Amino acid sequence: MPRFVIWITIAAVIFIFLLYNFYFSVNFPFQDDFLLIQFVDGVSRGEIGLWGFVKELFRTFNDHKPVVSRLIAFVDYLLTGHLNFRFYILLVSLNIVYIFYFIYLQFKKTGMPLYYLLPAFFLFFQPLFHDVSGWALNGLQHSYLTAFTVTAIMLVSRGRRVAFAAALLCCFLATFSHGNGILSFPAIIFFFLCYKKFWKAAITAAVMFLALGIYLIGYESGQAVHLPTNILTFIYSLFGFIGSSVSMWAAPEFWSAVLGAVMVAFILFLVVRVAGVYFNREVVIKPGTVELLTFFVFIFITSLVIAVFRSWMGSTIASRFQIYTSLATIICYVLLLDYFAVFRKKGVFYTLLLLSVFYWSYSYYMHTHIVANKRMVYLADVYNWEDHSDMFSVEKTITQYGAFYLFPAYEKGIFKLPPPVVNRHELDSMYTVSQRPDTDSEIFVEVWKLKDFQNNGFINLSFVSSLKFPERKGFLTDRFLVLRDTSGICYLMGGNAKVESRKVLLTTGFYYKNGFHVTLRKDDLKPGVYELAVMDIEANGDKKFYRLDKSLRQTGTSYILE
Q: What is the DSSP string of 4-35?
A: HHHHHHHHHHHHHHHHHHHHT--S---GGGHH
**Whole-angstrom Cα distance, residue 332 to residue 483?**
50
pLDDT at residue 49 in the model: 85
User: Mean pLDDT throughout 29-38?
Assistant: 93
Query: What pTM value is reported for the model?
Result: 0.94
**Residue 38 pLDDT > 60:** yes
Percent with pLDDT over 70 in the chain: 97
**Whole-angstrom Cα distance, residue 356 to residue 379?**
33
pLDDT band at 455 (very low <50, low <70, confident <90, very high): low
pLDDT band at 454 (very low <50, low <70, confident <90, very high): low
Residue 136 half-sphere exposure, CB side, CA atoms within 13 Å?
Answer: 24
**Residue 551 pLDDT > 80:** yes
Task: Return the bridge partners of 533, or none.
Answer: 482, 547
User: Mean pLDDT throughout 434-440?
Assistant: 88
Residue 222 or residue 133, greater confidence = 133
- Asked which of 1-5, 172-176, 508-512, 549-553 is least confident by mean pLDDT, the reply is 1-5
**Residue 399 pLDDT > 60:** yes
Residue 478 three-state SS = strand
**Residue 160 pLDDT > 70:** yes
pLDDT at residue 438 in the model: 85
- Asked which of 24-28, 377-381, 456-460 is least confident by mean pLDDT, the reply is 456-460
- CA-wise closest residue to 394 among 287, 247, 524: 524
- Alpha helices for 182-288 (secondary structure H): 184-194, 198-216, 231-243, 252-274
**Residue 440 pLDDT > 70:** yes
| Mean predicted lDDT score pLDDT of the chain | 92
User: Which residues have a Cβ under 8 Å from the Cβ of 79 and sit 6 or more positions away?
Assistant: none
**Residue 258 pLDDT > 60:** yes
- Dihedral pair phi/psi, residue 283, rounded to 5°: -120, 130
pLDDT at residue 225 in the model: 61
User: Mean pLDDT throughout 105-124?
Assistant: 96
pLDDT band at 494 (very low <50, low <70, confident <90, very high): very high
Percent with pLDDT over 90 in the chain: 76
pLDDT band at 529 (very low <50, low <70, confident <90, very high): very high
User: Mean pLDDT throughout 464-474?
Assistant: 92
Residue 427 three-state SS = helix
pLDDT at residue 467 in the model: 92
- CA-wise closest residue to 526 among 483, 493, 562: 483
Residue 225 or residue 18, greater confidence = 18
**Residue 230 pLDDT > 80:** no
Residue 454 or residue 295, greater confidence = 295
**Whole-angstrom Cα distance, residue 34 to residue 38?**
6
pLDDT at residue 445 in the model: 94
**Residue 316 pLDDT > 80:** no
Task: Return the bridge partners of 465, or none.
Answer: 444, 517
User: Mean pLDDT throughout 495-524?
Assistant: 92
pLDDT at residue 144 in the model: 97
- Dihedral pair phi/psi, residue 222, rounded to 5°: -90, 170
**Contact assessment for residue 449 and residue 457, using Cβ atoms and an 8 Å cutoff:** no
pLDDT at residue 3 in the model: 87
**Whole-angstrom Cα distance, residue 199 to residue 95?**
32
pLDDT band at 284 (very low <50, low <70, confident <90, very high): confident
The region that residue 62 occupies, defined by phi over 0 for left and psi between -120 and 50 for alpha, beta otherwise, is left
User: Which residues have a Cβ under 8 Å from the Cβ of 111 and sit 6 or more positions away?
Assistant: none
**Residue 312 pLDDT > 70:** no
**Residue 223 pLDDT > 60:** no
